[in-house]
Amino acid sequence: MKKNYTQASRRRDRLAELLIRICGLFVIVAVVWILVMITRVALPLFYSPKATSIASISLPVELKQSRLLSIGIDETQQELFSLDGKGLVHFIDTRGGTLKESVPVPDPPPGARTVVSAELVSKSLYNLLWDTGVVSSVKIAFSSTRSESGNTIVSHEVSADPEGFFPGSGAFKRSFVRTIEGKGAVRVDQLESDRIRVTWRSKETDLFGNEKATTSSSEIQDPLPAAITAVVLDHAGHYLYAGTRNGQLMRWDISEPGEIRLLDSTAVTGNSPVTALNLVLGDISVAVGDGKGGYTAWFPVTAAGSGEGKQLVRTHVLRPHTGTVSAILPSPRDKSLVSVNDQGVIHIDHVTSERNLLTLKGAKPVAMLALSAQGNSLCSLDTAGNFAVWRLEIPHPEVSLGTLFGKVWYEGYDRPEYVWQSSAANDDFEPKMSLVPLIFGTLKATAFAMLFAVPLALLGALYTSQFMAPRLKSRIKPAVEIMAAIPSVVVGFLAGLWLAPLIDKVVLAFFLSFIIIPVMLLVTIFFWRLIKTASPLERRLRGKEFIVLIPIVLVGTWLAYLLGGIVEVQVFGGDFKQWLYSVLGIRYDQRNSMIIAVALGFAVIPLIFTIAEDALSNVPRNLTAASLALGASRWQTAWRVVLPSALPGVFSAVMIGFGRAVGETMIVLMATGNTPIMSGSIFNGLRSLSANIAVEIPEASLNGSLYRVLFLSAVLLFIFTFIINTVAEALRQRFRRKYGRY
Amino acid sequence: MKQYWKTGEPLVMLTGAALAVILVMTLTLVGVVLTNGLGYFWPSHLVRLELKDGSTALGQIMKREKNPLTGEHRLQLKVSNRDLYGQDFRWIDEKDVTGRSLPKDALLLERREHGNFAGFLSGLSVDGLKVDQATSPLEKLKLARAAIEERQPHLDNIRKKMMTLNQQAESMRLKLLKLEYRNREQHAAEIARLTATREQVLAEFNVLNGQATTAQAEIGGFTAQFKDVSGGAKDIPLVDIMRILAPNDMSIPAKMLAYASRVKELLLDEPRESNTEGGLFPAIFGTVMMVLVMSFFSLPFGVIAAIYLREYARDGLMTRMVRIAVNNLAGVPSIVYGVFGLGFFVYGIGGSIDAIFFPERLPTPTFGTGGILWSSLTLALLTVPVVIVATEESLASIPRGLREGSLALGATKFQTLTRVLLPMATPGIMTGLILSMARAVGEVAPLMVVGVVKLAPSLPFDTTFPFFHMDRKFMHLGFHIYDVGFQSPNVEAAKPMVYITTLLLLGIVIVASSMAIYFRTRMRKRYTSSHF
């Protein structure tokens, strides 16, 4: 019985020890786990994009003889189509390469027999130029449904779009038609290699509801430097771009009927011919490919110094091709481009981030390229009549280390800048995700807060640990610890809704208090001297000086308030903020960096105070006693003996405070305007990494770019605080070993 | 003088001044919260101001401040009557005021909607209510109000029944969904039965709904007519009146009673008017429950980790690494925990739970969205270091001799731990528990990411099975401050509510931390004097 009991308790002891050890080590696991989990979400940002070859089929025999004009592919890579010169749309199964169906284009214009050329206008809308000179539109759309058994079934539809009909006669090299909802249409024809004609058809409805159509036409008169090699018209029919054989890019404004205005004529390639030209999604940037493989993107920018309009400027240089760029195709989803050279090498690049996403090599030169409506299928037809189909997986084309941490030239900006703007109202908006303004905001807030908090906390800790009467100390220390427990949301709320409006009213008094309180202190020190050493009053007040100083601080604040009002009226004409703006040109935000300094400083003071006070108190008493016995004053002892010994501990206190300030969320969120600007002014707000996460993550879609970028900023915060805390802890451990307590 | 500087006494004063500034700042913070928070419930006088232009204004004077340019004072008057004037507050220059008076019959009504009403009673339409024994119109109004109050339980009863039925119907809907998802044919009979019961429940619900509407209309018909100070008439249904006060005609004890009743409302009632009025009950309940669930996870884990560090680990690389890990857990920004909780708990574990147990409800998430369980777990991780540090400290303060004595008597290490050390360390563990709770009560940033909402439709605990609804979203005092103070459309009117919430939160935190510190000091004192 007894033996059993001993055995059982031994067994239990061993088991408990094992469990306890596992539990202890779990702390390390938890820390590592947090880092691993948030990194795992952030990392896919940097995965290289993937293209999977789905099919490689040759043209069905039925189509060998036809003249193909355009191709297209569906979302699921199951079906593709080709449009031929007879106006037939052939749907081909990508798995077997068999012809599924041939559908004639509905309602061809009377008398028209063959299609001269086809242009992809938007997602599934094609403009066809017929041999009679008439242009009509056709919609070739795929749709997919999920069947009961879980397979996707693709169906297609070819329908006419009467809106796109534009009469004309004659033979053209190429024609563009754009219909403007409710207003009419514009048509651009390239007659010969150096003649372009623009025709406007405007529809007007008069008071009685009668529609009146007027047509006007004019030809471009501007002298062309060389033959035109590429032409492109934007979707709104406002701007016409043309590239020439000697490498000039020209841009005309044709938005007003009857008026063609030349806006730009810029050398873009350095004499080699412009061989491919297309607009990036959103119609602001134009991508240019040349005969030597040069590949660049341009958009109009307000030229520095000149008051007049915007000029085309080369904003992005994309990875060059090895030979002549033969075609550029914009992605229908983002600012990516697919381009191909004369040897059949396909590049997929993102314009803004200048990332070369993918390079695909075919065996033969490519004749035609197509992307699906969502941009995740790519199809090419080579000159030998073989189709190649890829599935593209490019989850985050717009994010790269360059866009996160470097300056990026976004559309609509006059120069490369650091911008954080994750969402906007319009659809073709490009998210701008530079972490630099946020890191700047974080460091700015932290720096101001530390500037405010460190002197107060350290001096206060020195006083409490070295000079304060022991009985008071046992009251004050817990008070500061309770102060540390004040929730940051409370501090943030008071900073945002009480302090900010208050300081807004008494900015000057706030500044003056930094002068007046020290002056008051000097005066007090002067009078303090009059109290004789070892007099009853002195003995009574020794170690309690700060109690006398509390009213001094209050009186100082009140004086600063009074003086602030006087100075504002006398010196700044009654309104300091107005003066600031009109004389110095500085904008004053109500929730600015001063508020942050005070609020965030207030939050970290107790933390720094407590740790520093512990370190200072833990310096062995015999050191202090020896110093005092040798005749040093209490200040000399504290300054020359205690502080140097406790320095590692004090330093680690500051670092831990720093780490806390970097990661503090609610105070920064509530006490700043959360504007992600990079300005060093103390009168402006800011946005920190942590507040940014809190603001944006509810709106970020799961696994989207924004979501992952926010996780990345969490990783940054983690790593940053990890380093600070580890160093601080290492310092503290060394300090403890040195003095052997704890 | 030079000598004086050399001894460094002035610098001692400087350090003292730093401490003084810290204390002044803290006291200011507490003072601001106290003055703004405590005063709001006090029914202060309704002042009638006669203005130079001949108009009058009635309201409570909130603030008096000086225009720094002209040196003149202006008053902030809370005129109430949001529905009549469009705003609650008005600034009046003191020089425009020609007369002040405190009309005895001025009434302040707290209403269910549109904030307060300040004005005078002009008539009553209460035929059918027993108000005969009243002498004055005000008495009549109060009696009528009380009579309506008596009828209220009937309506509340119906509403409660409706809610239960609604919940039943909802749980049946989910059951049906599950059955249909599994296999339609196999469970056809069950499905038919459930559908029929559900129809029945819904029909019952509709009957009750009709009853409620009639009852509501019946008591909604009793109204009282009021006039604002400039004579504008306003008809207010008696059910919409929460409380009737005549602050100019109230004695101090009466005012204190009114104050107490408002405090009771604050603690026990639901919020109204998009959280800017009414009570805080759901937020208090959510906070408390979240903290309790959190402690359930963080306390055992923290205590065991501390035992490992203090009793089992030998001083070596491993221990140092554990210590560094503990410090990092304490030092990692709280928002990072939120992000981790979102990625790991909510979308990771929660998503998997949904996929395995509730696939029929997808894409509507059950656990794959923020909720009280995920919030508690996230905060548990965040507060573990607090428990570890406090427990470790208390274990360290237990003299060596006690351990050695126990071991010498033949006890195993585990027995020593459970029978000697842990009972002695209990105050320290309590300290850790309370401090971790205080920390969790005030932490908002991670909760914003993993499951707190501005208005939760139902509490995470109720009388329907399984009682604890861990997947539900909840309200939280700290988030309430942020939301009402910074996200509500009418910040100026919402401010008092924010101050009161702040006061409550600050009170809880300060009391909790003081208790924790008290326990700790006692623990320390107990062993410092008795060295073996």
> What is the secondary structure of A450-465 as a DSSP string?
HHHHHHHHHHHHHIII
Nearest CB to B321: which of A26, A28, A459? A28
Taking only the tens place, the pLDDT of each residue in A395-407 is 888 888 888 898 8
| B530 pLDDT more than 50 | no
Q: Which one is predicted more confidently, A468 or B532?
A: A468
Q: Judge if B146 and B291 occupy the same domain.
A: no
- Inter-CA distances, A625 with A619, A632, A736, B81, B306, Å: 11, 10, 20, 70, 35
Q: How confident is the model at residue A437, as a pLDDT? A: 92
Do B502 and B381 reside in the same domain of the chain? yes
Phi/psi of residue B246, nearest 5 degrees:
-120, 80
Q: List, in order, residues 6 or more apart from A440 with CB less than 8 Å away.
A: A418, A678, A686
pLDDT in tens, A80-125: 888 888 888 899 888 888 888 888 888 888 888 888 888 888 878 8
Q: Which two tokens stand for residue B124?
A: 């009553």
Report the residue count for chain B: 532
DSSP B97-147: EEEEE--TT-EEEEESSSSEEEEEEEEEE-TTS--TT--SHHHHHHHHHHH
Q: Are A514 and A605 in contact (CB under 8 A)?
A: no
> Which pLDDT value is given to residue B464?
67
pLDDT at B45 > cutoff 80: yes
Predicted TM-score (pTM) of this structure: 0.89
- Choosing among B23, B299, B304, B336, which should be mutated to test the A contact, i.e. which has the most A CBs within 10 A? B336
What is the predicted pLDDT for the residue at A222? 82
Residues in chain B with CB shorter than 8 Å from the CB of A595 are none
Asked if the structure places residue B487 within a domain, the reply is yes
Q: Assign A416 a pLDDT band (cuts: 50, 70, 90).
A: confident
> Using CB atoms, which residue from A25, A545, A666 is nearest to B12?
A545
Contact assessment for residue A700 and residue A707, using Cβ atoms and an 8 Å cutoff: yes
Whether residues B401 and B476 share a domain: the answer is yes
pLDDT at B527: 66
Q: Find which of A490, A527, A660, A696 to mutate to test the B interface (most B CBs within 10 Å of its CB).
A: A490
- CATH number of the domain residue B454 falls in: 1.10.3720.10
| A62: nearest Cα among A94, A92, A87, A85 | A92
- Of the partner residues A17, A37, A656, the one whose CB lies closest to the CB of residue B343: A37
Pick the residue of B13, B311, B406, B508 with the most A CBs within 10 A to test the interface with A by mutation. Answer: B13
Q: Which residues in B lie closer than 8 A to residue A33 (C-beta atoms)?
A: 344
Say whether the ipTM exceeds 0.85: yes
Six-digit token string for A550: 């509390």
With an 8 Å Cβ cutoff, is B494 touching chain A? no
How close is the nearest chain B Cα to the Cα of A602, in Å? 8
Query: In chain B, whose CA is at the least distance from the CA of A461?
Result: B19
Task: Give the pLDDT confidence score for residue A304 in this predicted structure.
Answer: 63
Question: B177 and B146 in one domain?
Answer: yes
Whether residue B67 lies within 8 A of chain A, CB to CB, comes out as: no
d(CA A717, CA A707): 15
Neighbour-count burial of A737, counting CB atoms closer than 10 A to its CB (0-12 exposed, 13-18 middle, 19+ buried): exposed
Contact at CB, B414 and A30, closer than 8 angstroms: no
Shortest distance, CA B146 to any CA of chain A (angstroms): 39
Would B4 be classed as within a structural domain? no
Residues A717, B16: C-beta atoms closer than 8 Å: no
Place of tokens 């610098």: B11
Of B325, B329, B444, the CB nearest to A489: B444
Out of B233, B250, B267, a domain closes at B250
Q: Strands of B233-237's sheet, edge to edge?
A: B233-237, B223-227, B116-125, B107-111, B241-245
Q: How confident is the model at residue A608 (pLDDT cuts 50, 70, 90)?
A: very high
Domains and their CATH numbers in chain A: 50-397 (2.130.10.10), 435-739 (1.10.3720.10)
Helix segments in A529-575, DSSP class H: 536-541, 545-571
Sign of the dihedral through C-alpha B285, B463, B374, B371: negative
Answer yes or no: do B343 and A528 touch at CB < 8 A: no
Give the minimum alpha-carbon distance from B322 to chain A in angstroms, rounded to a whole number. 6
Is B359 inside any structural domain? yes
Residue range of the domain that includes B83: 52-126+224-250
Q: How far is A565 from chain B (nearest CA, A)?
A: 6
pLDDT tens digits for A164-195? Answer: 788 887 778 888 888 877 678 888 888 877 78
- Greatest mean pLDDT range, A213-227, B453-467, B494-508: B494-508
- Give dist(CA B97, CA B93) in Å, integer: 7
Higher-pLDDT residue of A706 and B529 is A706
Cα–Cα distance measured from residue A692 to residue A698, given in angstroms and rounded to the nearest whole number: 11
- B344, closest residue in chain A (CA to CA): A37
Q: Does A740 score more than 70 pLDDT?
A: no
Q: What percent of chain A has pLDDT over 90?
A: 16
pLDDT score at A657? 92
Give how far Cα B331 sits from Cα of A261, A273, A447, Å: 63, 60, 18
Does residue B449 share a domain with residue B364? Answer: yes
Helix (H, G, I), strand (E, B) or coil at A431: coil
pLDDT tier at A528 (50, 70, 90 boundaries)?
Answer: confident
Residue of A nearest to B310 (CA): A24
Strands A68-73 and A79-84 come out as antiparallel
- Judge: B8–A636 Cβ closer than 8 Å, yes or no: yes
pLDDT category of residue B97 using cuts at 50, 70 and 90: confident
Is the pLDDT confidence value at A741 over 60? no
Please indicate whether, in this complex, the C-beta atoms of B18 and A455 are within 8 angstroms of each other: yes
Q: What is the largest CA-CA distance in chain B?
A: 101
Residue B450 to chain A, least CA–CA distance (Å):
10
Residue of B nearest to A653 (CA): B331
Nearest CA in chain A to B33: A494
pLDDT at B111 over 80: yes
Q: Which of residues 372-401 of B touch A (CB under 8 A)?
A: 381, 384, 388, 396
Residues B214 and B69 occupy one common structural domain: no
- Same domain for B343 and B442? yes
CA distance B110 to chain A (A): 25
Q: Averaging pLDDT over each range in A331-340, A712-721, B218-227, B450-459, which range is the top one?
A: A712-721
B216/B328 same-domain check: no
Report yes or no: B433 at the A interface, CB cutoff 8 Å: no
Within 8 A of A529 by CB-CB distance, chain B residues are 1, 4, 9
CA distance A27 to B305: 7
Interface contact B69-A494, CB threshold 8 A: no
Q: How far is B106 from chain A (nearest CA, A)?
A: 31
Name the more confident of B177 and A16.
A16
Most confident of A36-50, A529-543, A722-736: A36-50
The answer to whether position B9 is within a domain reads no
Which of B309, B413, B435 minimises the CB distance to A24? B309
Residue B170 forms part of a structural domain: yes
Q: Do A494 and B344 touch (CB under 8 A)?
A: no
Residue A449: pLDDT over 90: yes
Task: Give the helix/strand (H/E) hosting A177.
Answer: strand A174-180
Give the pair of three-digit tokens for residue B153.
Answer: 């339980």
- Which residue in the set A20, A634, A714 is minimally distant from B304, CB to CB? A20
For residues A228 and A210, the answer to whether their CB atoms sit within 8 Å is no
What are the C-alpha distances in Å from B197 to residues A421, B188, B192, B194, B463?
53, 14, 9, 5, 21
Same-domain check for residues B394 and B474: yes
B411, closest residue in chain A (CA to CA)? A9
Inter-chain residue contact A478 with B486, CB threshold 8 Å = no
Label residue B43 by pLDDT band (50, 70, 90).
Answer: confident
Question: What whole-number distance in Å separates Cα of residue A657 and Cα of residue A662?
Answer: 9
pLDDT of residue A495: 92
Which chain B residues contact residue A572 at CB under 8 A?
A: none
Using CA atoms, how far apart are residues A724 and A719, in angstroms rounded to an integer? Answer: 9
Asked if residue B201 has pLDDT above 70, the reply is yes
Do residues B196 and B72 both lie within one domain?
no
Inter-chain touch A656–B331, beta carbons under 8 Å: yes
pLDDT in tens, B249-302: 888 888 899 889 888 888 888 888 777 778 888 889 889 999 999 999 999 999
Q: Which residues of B277-296 are buried (b: 16+ CB within 10 A; e: fewer)?
A: bbbbbbbbbbbebbbebbbe
Mean pLDDT over A544-551 rounds to 84
Lowest mean pLDDT among A494-503, B130-139, B391-400: B130-139
Residue B52 has pLDDT above 50, yes or no: yes
Structure tokens at B35: 């003055």
Q: Do B308 and A528 touch (CB under 8 A)?
A: no
3-state secondary structure of A632: coil
- Phi and psi at B191, nearest 5°, equal -65, -45
Are B246 and B294 contained in the same domain?
A: no
Question: Using CA atoms, how far apart are residues A448 and A601, in angstroms rounded to an integer?
Answer: 8
Q: What angle do CA B482, B484, B488 make, to 5 degrees?
A: 120
In a domain, B30, yes or no: no
Q: How far apart are CA A349 and CA A392, in angstroms?
A: 13
Tally of domains in chain B = 3
Instruction: Choose the closest CB to A463 out of B18, B24, B329.
Output: B18
Residue B336 has a pLDDT of 93
Average pLDDT over residues A316-343: 89
Question: Are the Cβ atoms of A486 and B442 closer than 8 angstroms?
Answer: yes
> What pLDDT sits at residue A742?
38
**pLDDT tens profile A265-313:** 888 888 888 888 999 888 889 999 988 888 999 988 887 655 567 888 8
What's residue A35's pLDDT? 92
Do B23 and A550 lie within an 8 Å CB cutoff?
Answer: yes
Mark whether B211 and B172 lie in a shared domain: yes
Burial class (CB in 10 A: 0-12, 13-18, 19+), A631: exposed
H or E stretch including B149?
A: helix B137-182
Q: Is B193 part of a structural domain of the chain?
A: yes
Structure tokens that stand for A578 in this block = 């107005």
Mean pLDDT (chain A) is 86
Chain B interface mutation, best of A458, A466, A497, A514, highest count of B Cβ atoms under 10 Å: A497
- Compute CA distances A531 → A525, A526, A534, A549, whole Å: 10, 10, 9, 15
pLDDT band at A443 (very low <50, low <70, confident <90, very high): very high
B317 touches chain A (CB under 8 A): no
Q: Which member of B384, B506, B517 has the closest CB to residue A478? A: B517
B-chain CB neighbours of A34 within 8 Å are 332, 336-337, 340, 381
Interface test with B, best of A27, A528, A553, A639 (most B CBs within 10 A): A27
Mean pLDDT on A245-249 = 88
Mean pLDDT of chain B: 84
Q: What is the pLDDT at residue B468?
A: 74
* Spatial CB neighbours of A610, under 8 Å, sequence gap ≥ 6: A461, A477, A480, A481, A484, A653
Note whether B498 contacts A690, CB cutoff 8 Å. no
Residues of chain A neighbouring B34 (CB-CB closer than 8 A) = none
